Amino acid sequence: MNNQVIIFDTSLRDGEQALPASLNVREKLQIALMLERLGVDVIEAGFPVSSPGDFKSVQLIAKEIKNARVCGLSRALAKDIDACGEALGVAEAFRIHTFIATSDIHVNTKLRKSQDEVVEMAIKAIKHASKYTDDIEFSCEDAGRTHIDYLCRMVEAAITAGATTVNIPDTVGYTIPSEFGSIISSLFNRVPNIDKAIISVHCHNDLGLAVANSLTAVEHGARQIECTINGIGERAGNCSLEEIVMTLKTRYQKLGLNTNINTQEIHRASKLVSQLCSMPVQANKAIVGANAFSHSSGIHQDGVLKGQNTYEIMTPESVGINKNVLNLTSRSGRHVIKHRLGELGYGPDEYDLDNIYESFVRLADKKGQVFDYDLEALLFFDQQKH
Ligand code: KIV
Ligand code: ZN
């Protein structure tokens, strides 16, 4: 099996559709250029039929992006597919992503159709899309809650109709990893033409399991992961790109799994998306949160100063952050104070560490965080005393 994991970014579609206010065309292009620089393989640029603004931005992104495949979303309807074909047609190569729901609850309540009718609609849509491109992705919306027999039938029909990527979304973030893994492995065991398409996954984070479910799917053979920067997306969001990519890099490279992501661009991409989308990143968010590479307790700081990997499983540089942060608080020890004074240019013969440390702890108890200028002031007063 191919060990390359395709990274499909849907920040501009699933991510953007969840924002209180839409991004403008210029902002979307700025994000698309960042995603290209980051090295994502596929950029889902929008849903062209949904508004003239979305159509225009998908078209502009398709025109400007050269090093990633640009994709547009469509329901399994000819008018949606035509809008995709028209918007994306400015690019030499592009992907059309068409979808229809497959779970009983969606088929009966939302679509109000029979299962046979839904399969027919999917086949018709895929065949229609093939008039525009040979890169067609088909998604079984709410696959996570779809009966496995029907899911297998739909996936087989989609591949026979010409889908080159078949996406298995956990649309409402309902599955747990063991369950999602078994859905993917059932597909590989039961769908006869499965090797004719790439199996993709698209996990939502309603139970905080989007990354875990995506990883399990990869372990069972999926080779495309749909994700977003900072995990933005409908409700609790989508699988976060930075988390899944760094997990693959940190833990799965040994198994031979790779992505094309230039991980040193992750921090920059996260900041851009957060700013343009007005979606602050929580401080303790994995990989890109302000505290992801900061150490506070004296024991941890001492450990990191002795060997960075004592408390860091990846380097900050690997995700584009200059260096880690050692917060100076009442929990900090002597080692970090000496180290920080050294960074500020003061040698150990210029101060008495015990004295400085005693005043530092007193100040930290009152103030919380002690900054470099506080430390320099303590040093100055200490020098005045002697
Ligand atoms: O969550 C979902 O099912 C989707 C599909 C359109 C892929 O976003
Ligand atoms: Zn989604």
Atom 2 (ligand 1) nearest CA: 171
237 lines ligand 1 (CB under 6 A): no
CA neighbor of 27 nearest in space, from 272, 232, 225: 272
Q: Ligand 1: which of 14, 175, 203 to mutate, judged by most atoms within 8 Å of the beta carbon?
A: 14
Contact, 202 vs 7, CB < 8 A?
Answer: no
50 lines ligand 1 (CB under 6 A): no
**Given the CA of residue 172, which atom of ligand 1 is nearest to it?**
1
**Given the CA of residue 238, which atom of ligand 1 is nearest to it?**
1
The confidence band for 209, taking pLDDT boundaries of 50, 70 and 90, is very high
Give the distance (Å) from ligand 2 centre to CA of residue 226: 9
Atom 8 (ligand 1) nearest CA: 14
Q: Please report which ligand is nearest the Cα atom of 224.
A: 1
The confidence band for 384, taking pLDDT boundaries of 50, 70 and 90, is confident
Specify the pLDDT at position 92: 96
The confidence band for 168, taking pLDDT boundaries of 50, 70 and 90, is very high
Model confidence over 45-83: pLDDT tens digits? 999 999 999 999 999 999 999 999 999 999 999 999 999
Instruction: Report the C-alpha gap between 317 and 263 in whole angstroms.
Output: 9
28 lines ligand 1 (CB under 6 A): no
171 lines ligand 1 (CB under 6 A): yes
The DSSP bridge pattern shows strands 325-326 and 294-295 to be parallel
Segment 280-286 mean pLDDT: 98
Instruction: Report the C-alpha gap between 84 and 45 in whole angstroms.
Output: 10
253 pLDDT higher than 90: no
> Could you tell me what percent of the chain has a pLDDT over 90?
97
Atom 5 (ligand 1) nearest CA: 141
Binding-site residue set for Mn(2+): 14, 202, 204, 238
The neighbour count for residue 136, using CB atoms within 10 Å, is 26
1 pLDDT higher than 80: no
Give the distance (Å) from ligand 1 centre to CA of residue 295: 38
Q: Exposed e or buried b for every residue in 295-319, given b needs 16+ CB within 10 A?
A: bbebebbbbbbeeeeebbebebebb
143 pLDDT higher than 90: yes
Phi, psi torsion values for 208, nearest 5 degrees: 70, 25
158 pLDDT higher than 90: yes
15 lines ligand 1 (CB under 6 A): no
Burial grade of 44 (CB within 10 A; 0-12, 13-18, 19 or more): buried
169 lines ligand 1 (CB under 6 A): yes
Q: Ligand 1: which of 16, 204, 225, 228 to mutate, judged by most atoms within 8 Å of the beta carbon?
A: 204
**Given the CA of residue 13, which atom of ligand 1 is nearest to it?**
8
254 pLDDT higher than 90: no
101 pLDDT higher than 80: yes
Please report the ipTM that was assigned to this predicted complex: 0.99
Specify the pLDDT at position 255: 82
Place of tokens 């700081």: 301
Instruction: Report the C-alpha gap between 94 and 273 in whole angstroms.
Output: 24
Give the distance (Å) from ligand 1 centre to CA of residue 171: 6
The confidence band for 275, taking pLDDT boundaries of 50, 70 and 90, is very high
Q: Ligand 1: which of 99, 105, 166, 227 to mutate, judged by most atoms within 8 Å of the beta carbon?
A: 99
Specify the pLDDT at position 374: 97
Atom 1 (ligand 1) nearest CA: 171
Specify the pLDDT at position 53: 96
Give the distance (Å) from ligand 1 centre to CA of residue 307: 43
Model confidence over 309-336: pLDDT tens digits? 999 999 999 999 999 999 999 999 999 9
Instruction: Report the C-alpha gap between 172 and 146 in whole angstroms.
Output: 12
The confidence band for 296, taking pLDDT boundaries of 50, 70 and 90, is very high
**Given the CA of residue 73, which atom of ligand 1 is nearest to it?**
6
Give the distance (Å) from ligand 2 centre to CA of residue 139: 10
Contact, 218 vs 5, CB < 8 A?
Answer: yes
2 pLDDT higher than 90: no
- Is pTM beyond 0.90? Reply is yes
- pLDDT averaged over every residue in the chain: 97
Specify the pLDDT at position 306: 97
Instruction: Report the C-alpha gap between 302 and 87 in whole angstroms.
Output: 56
Specify the pLDDT at position 385: 77
Give the distance (Å) from ligand 2 centre to CA of residue 11: 10
Give the distance (Å) from ligand 2 centre to CA of residue 56: 22
Annotate the chain with three-state secondary structure: CCCECEEEECHHHHHHHCCCCCCCHHHHHHHHHHHHHHCCCEEEEECHHHCHHHHHHHHHHHHHCCCCEEEEEEECCHHHHHHHHHHHCCCCCEEEEEEEECCHHHHHHHHCCCHHHHHHHHHHHHHHHCCCCCCEEEEEECHHHCCHHHHHHHHHHHHHHCCCEEEEEECCCCCCHHHHHHHHHHHHHHCCCHHHCEEEEEEECCCCCHHHHHHHHHHCCCCEEEEEHHHCCCCCCECEHHHHHHHHHHHHHHHCCECCCCHHHHHHHHHHHHHHHCCCCCCCCCCCCCCCCEECCHHHHHHHHHCHHHCCCCCHHHHCCCCCEECCCCCCCHHHHHHHHHHCCCCHHHCCHHHHHHHHHHHHHHHCCCCHHHHHHHHHHHHHHC
Tokens for 122, please give them. Answer: 């999917």
Q: Please report which ligand is nearest the Cα atom of 171.
A: 1
